Amino acid sequence: MRKKFIAGNWKMHKNKTDALLYLKDFKLNVKNVTDTEIVLCVPSTLLSVVNEKVKDSNINLAAQNIHHEESGAFTGEICAKMVKDFVNYVVIGHSERRKYFNETNQILNKKVNLALKQSLKIIFCVGETLEQRDKNETKSIIETQIREGLAKTTVSDLINIVIAYEPVWAIGTGQTASPEQAQEIHGFIRQLIADLYNNESANNLRIIYGGSVNPKNAAEIISQPDIDGCLPGGASLDPESFAKIIKA
């Protein structure tokens, strides 16, 4: 049975003081949760302080991004080897990175393979825009994102990858794909993984949903057979709200 996976993406929010206050409440709220893998995706400035506070707890840590080169003259960037000191996971392919920073499937594939080289686990995000959905291109877009983004990965690599389906039109908008809509795409992704790798890998793969998840809709979304968790953004910024999603 696949263990539930819930990751909260803080995006560009919180400083050290905010993070310490958050963790004080959040750790208490989730300390007895054993059936769910909990991950906090925090800004790079907070990786060190949050890492210290979640050690020996049931909370894992993720970097929100890495550069697509191993090292070099890239002022202001952060590479896989750097974040490895603090995190278990890294988020790759988030729609905001694709949209605002022009990250192509080829760039994301470089990031994926560099992360795996550093023994990092990956939350790999895929999803379609509203325009693409209206043109009935959802499945072809997602298939391309997975085929090109996960190119050169192996069956053994797949153990360290979580795929997050995040319809772009539902991120930060208050709109949410219905549980049935989300399940359809999650089922499609699982079958695609079976075709690209094998049935066992597909059955073991955790596929999570991101897109305006909140305490009110989380339980219904996660109850779908191919949805193994979620990736809330705004709802993860409040420790009580995020704890309610985890316990949904």
Amino acid in the structure at residue 246: I
Angle, in degrees to the nearest 10, between helices 16-30 and 239-246: 30
Catalytic residue status for 184: no
Angle, in degrees to the nearest 10, between helices 105-117 and 138-149: 40
Distance (Å, whole) CA 248 – CA 122: 24
Catalytic residue status for 94: yes
Element (H, E) at 108: helix 105-117
Q: Residue written as tokens 């894992």?
A: 60
The DSSP bridge partners found for residue 36 are: 4
In a 3-state reduction of DSSP, which class is residue 68? coil
Distance (Å, whole) CA 94 – CA 187: 20
Catalytic choice (37, 67, 68, 94): 94
Distance (Å, whole) CA 69 – CA 53: 29
DSSP per position, 113-163: HHHHHTT-EEEEEE---HHHHHTT-HHHHHHHHHHHHTTT--HHHHTTEEE
Rounded to a whole number of angstroms, the CA Rg of the chain reads: 17
Catalytic choice (37, 103, 128, 166): 166
Q: Which residues are catalytic?
A: 94, 166
